[in-house]
A = this chain, B = another copy of it.
């Protein structure tokens, strides 16, 4: 009977390993669990420079196509406009709430027949609650209610993080202001 017990123990460990370490084994099997190890929700607020709002602006056009310029978003759904931003991050959807960090980087509009963007930016935190940065990249088909971009890395409290962030346009006022809700789900936490 003892050999049987041993075999079942062996089988148990073998199964555990195969189920538990697919990524490490480099196998083609999908990961069994998609539960975030950390989840954070923030809002950030973008006020685009238009030639008349230099005090309030948090973002500015720095590249434009031949048919555009740096104070007015271009025609053709802003195709070719490149914007650099330093936007306040808040815990709720109020632009006047105390910022908990800054969203810094760039977005660009990259389609002629519909609004679509591509983002490369970081959330930078330096408060008692969070220290460090989360780095993002990905396509933002912004006419969709929600869209996912990648968390490609992190530092400090977010050391080596990876995950997915779900973006939702929470407000949009003409071509000057928008607010994004960012639901960050980290699946690799160190």
Contacts and interface: CB of A to CB of B under 8 A. Distances in A.
Contacts of A190: 23, 30-31, 34, 187
Contacts of A121: 118
Contact of A164 (B65, B80, B155, B162): B155
Contacts of A154: 150
A68 B72 CA distance: 15
Interface stretch (A91-99, A104-112, A173-181): A104-112
Q: Count copies of this chain in the complex.
A: 3
Interface in A59-75: 60-66, 69-71
Nearest to A65: B60
A164 to B, nearest CB: 6
Given A108-B84, A110-B86, A121-B118, A63 B62 contact: yes
A49 B65 CA distance: 9
Given A35-B26, A65-B62, A149-B155, A116 B104 contact: yes
Given A30-B190, A62-B81, 14 more contacts: A6-B9, A10-B13, A17-B21, A23-B188, A26-B33, A30-B189, A60-B66, A61-B66, A62-B64, A65-B84, A80-B84, A82-B84, A120-B120, A137-B153
21 contacts: A13-B17, A20-B25, A21-B25, A23-B23, A26-B32, A26-B187, A29-B189, A51-B66, A60-B65, A62-B65, A62-B81, A63-B84, A66-B71, A86-B112, A102-B111, A104-B111, A105-B139, A135-B152, A138-B155, A150-B152, A160-B164
Closest 10 CB pairs of A and B: A150-B153, A148-B155, A31-B190, A122-B139, A62-B63, A28-B37, A63-B63, A21-B24, A24-B24, A60-B65
